[in-house]
Amino acid sequence: MVETRLSDLDYCYASVELLKVLENNAYLRNERIRTFLEQRASRETRIVSLVALLFPAVLLILLFGFPGNFARELISIENFLFRMFSLLMLGLFIFIFCFLLVYHLWHLRLVEPLRKKLTHDLKKELLDDIKKIDEHTESIVQKSLFTHPRVPELYLCTEILPLLIRYFEKGLADFMKEAVYALELELKHTGHYHHLVPRVTFLQRERDYLQNRMAYLNKLLK
């Protein structure tokens, strides 16, 4: 493949660029999930609000639905305004109470099938978008630069590869083994870059995600 013919310096450059694409894909995925969660929460809030609004609306219709009662209230405008204000406050209180009650009921496991059905279209759009992102991510992860790395796994990240590039560009190394050796000496004797060495690389986290993609998404989107 083309990657195997790259010089060690070009390998580092190519790996950094691909890792940046992976990071951007992860950002796009997270942003898409965030947008979905906001859309779902907004739709659920509207549904709960409409259901909660039915109770005070029915109450006001019952109280003002009879022309005789309404006409008698108009005899005294002050009495009418006071009654109107009182009823509006009562309606507001009932709405808030009903909203909290319906919101609580909405999140019960018993209502979960209905909740999923009402947001099914949003979730389908989300999964379609994420599938496209993940297909691109998987195509990068499967490249030979990463399946047959020239550096230890922990160094295959955007924090460490630029250090190896520096050794090549300054003439401190001609081959990858020399660059890795120089880096490990610097890590051992100075400790300057210890904080840059990750416990788990971003590449490995993306591999883990791709292997358990649906389990991760289902847990996140519950």
| Count of domains observed in the chain | 1
DSSP structural state of residue 193: T
Q: Is the pLDDT of residue 113 over 90?
A: no
User: Residue 76 has what pLDDT?
Assistant: 58
User: Residue 1 has what pLDDT?
Assistant: 42
User: Residue 136 has what pLDDT?
Assistant: 97
pLDDT tens digits for range 24-78: 999 999 999 999 999 999 998 898 888 888 887 777 777 665 555 555 555 555 5
C-alpha R_g of the chain: 31
Q: Is the pLDDT of residue 127 over 50?
A: yes
Q: How far apart are CA 161 and CA 15, in angstroms?
A: 8
Contact 202, 157 (CB under 8 A): yes
Q: Is the pLDDT of residue 202 over 80?
A: yes
Structural domain boundaries, residue 37: 2-220
User: Residue 78 has what pLDDT?
Assistant: 59
pLDDT tens digits for range 132-181: 999 999 999 999 999 999 999 999 999 999 999 999 999 999 999 999 99
User: Residue 2 has what pLDDT?
Assistant: 45
pLDDT tens digits for range 73-109: 555 555 667 777 777 787 788 888 888 888 888 878 8
Measure Cα distances from 153 to 91, 112, 132, 146, 200 in Å. 64, 43, 27, 9, 9
pTM of the model: 0.78
Q: Is the pLDDT of residue 115 over 90?
A: no
User: Residue 68 has what pLDDT?
Assistant: 52
